[in-house]
């Protein structure tokens, strides 16, 4: 390239100059974007938080007809040991406004596992024989966690879980 230039003809070789400028801008931009990733990602759940995303539940202590609330991802999860009568009733119905088969909501009919946050505004429903009643706005759920009536739009979600043996389930792993 020629080195002779003057103020009024600064762009001796505009293409090359443009290329250099663009290349630098692109490389610099990639760098800024790359450098911002660690900052953004640091706000995602950290490894110790993710560990809470897996909970082991001991089934031995839950008698037939009883329910236990365990913590998973910081949320309450209801684990219910259903009676044969409840199972039969649930399998005979499809629920309310958000119809779903009971068999689609359980892996083994005697164990129901649902996230215990009302799908309306996130209160924790209280347990009774019929299922659950949300204390905030009166949403009624059945013994399959399905919404029957009230403001809640959907059934209580079923978290991913695995029944490892007759004694334990692991919530958080499908």
Among 15, 34, 74, 165, the residue binding other proteins under the rule CB under 8 A is 34
Encoded tokens for 113: 């596992």
Nearer CB in complex with other proteins: 24/126: 24
Helices (H), 77-153: 84-92
**Cα–Cα nearest to 84, from 135, 42, 143, 27:** 143
Site for other proteins in 43-72 (CB under 8 A): 43-44, 46-49, 51, 56
Site string (96-125) toward other proteins, x via CB under 8 A: ------------------------------
5 binds other proteins, rule: CB under 8 A = yes
Nearer CB in complex with other proteins: 60/104: 60
Report, in Å, the least distance between residue 22 CB and other proteins: 10
Q: What distance separates the 2 farthest-apart alpha carbons in the chain?
A: 96
Among 14, 15, 27, 63, the residue binding other proteins under the rule CB under 8 A is 27
Instruction: Single out the segment in contact with other proteins by CB under 8 A; choices: 19-27, 77-85, 87-95, 134-142.
Output: 19-27
**Cα–Cα nearest to 122, from 81, 157, 146:** 157
- Half-sphere exposure of 108 toward its Cβ, with a 13 Å CA cutoff? 17
Exposure b/e, 69-104, CB count within 10 A at least 16 = b: ebebbeeebbbbbbeeebbebbeeeebbeeebebee
81 is known as an active-site residue? no
What residue ranges bind other proteins (CB under 8 A)?
3-7, 10, 17, 20-21, 23-24, 27-28, 31, 34, 37-39, 41-44, 46-49, 51, 56
Q: Which residues are annotated as catalytic?
A: 137
């Amino acid at each position: 390239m020629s080195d002779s230039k003057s103020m009024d003809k600064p762009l001796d070789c505009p293409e090359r100059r443009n290329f250099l400028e663009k290349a630098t801008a692109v490389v610099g931009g990639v760098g800024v974007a790359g450098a911002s990733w660690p900052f953004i990602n640091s706000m995602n759940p950290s490894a110790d938080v993710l560990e809470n995303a897996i909970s082991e539940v001991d089934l031995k202590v839950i008698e037939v007809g009883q329910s236990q609330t365990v913590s998973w991802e910081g949320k309450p999860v209801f684990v219910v040991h259903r009676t044969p009568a409840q199972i039969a009733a649930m399998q005979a119905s499809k629920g309310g406004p958000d119809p779903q088969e009971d068999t689609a909501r359980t892996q083994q009919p005697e164990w129901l596992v649902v996230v215990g946050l009302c799908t309306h505004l996130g209160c924790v429903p209280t347990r009774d024989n019929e299922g659950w009643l949300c204390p905030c706005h009166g949403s009624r759920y059945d013994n399959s966690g399905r919404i029957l009536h009230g403001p809640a739009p959907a059934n209580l979600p079923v978290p991913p879980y695995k029944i490892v043996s007759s004694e334990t389930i692991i919530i958080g792993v499908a």
